[in-house]
Amino acid sequence: LYACPQRTLLYVYRPARVWAYAQRRDIASFLQQFGYQDCQDVSALLDRLAARFAEGGCFPHESGIFLGYPLEDVCGFIANKGNHAKLCGEWKVYGDAHAAARTFHRYTCCRQDYLDRFAVGTTLDSLIVA
């Protein structure tokens, strides 16, 4: 999605899931504010997101949508300028802290499982499954 001398951002995703989430009425309406209204497929969405990275040289706030963050949390982050979160974990939570905590726990377990498998020789290709 983005590369500069300091870093490269690689986005691994499931196209059908990203597209389905982006097509939700509330998500699509939110994304329109950032110029995604003419995107007819997931490739167009990602082209626009890449352009947004290139425009500002920083992490566009709508990136959370592409990572599956709840809309309430993405909007809360923008409105509060990253302050006053109820919970900080994989992202800053402004909505349902209990649901987010459960998700964070699942992510931690999954990440540890992947690290354990990788440590014993499982290839990255076989860890990334559709």
How many whole angstroms separate alpha carbon 14 and alpha carbon 28? 18
How many domains would you assign to the chain? 2
Q: Which of 130, 127, 92, 99 is nearest to 111 (CA)?
A: 127
Indicate if 4 and 63 belong to the same structural domain: yes
Does 15 reside within a domain?
A: yes
User: In terms of residue numbers, what domain contains 95?
Assistant: 84-130
Q: Which residues, 6 or more positions from 81, have their beta carbon under 8 angstroms from its beta carbon?
A: none
Task: Give the pLDDT confidence of 94-113 residue by residue, as tens digits.
Answer: 999 999 999 999 999 999 99
Query: Does 120 fall in a domain?
Result: yes
**Among candidates 105, 73, 102, which has minimal Cα distance to 86?**
73
Same domain, 56 and 31: yes
Whether the Cβ atoms of residue 25 and residue 31 lie closer than 8 Å to each other? no
Q: Would you state the pLDDT for residue 55? A: 87
Assess whether 106 and 45 both reside in one domain. no
Q: Rg of the Cα trace of the chain?
A: 16
pLDDT tens profile 116-127 = 999 999 998 888
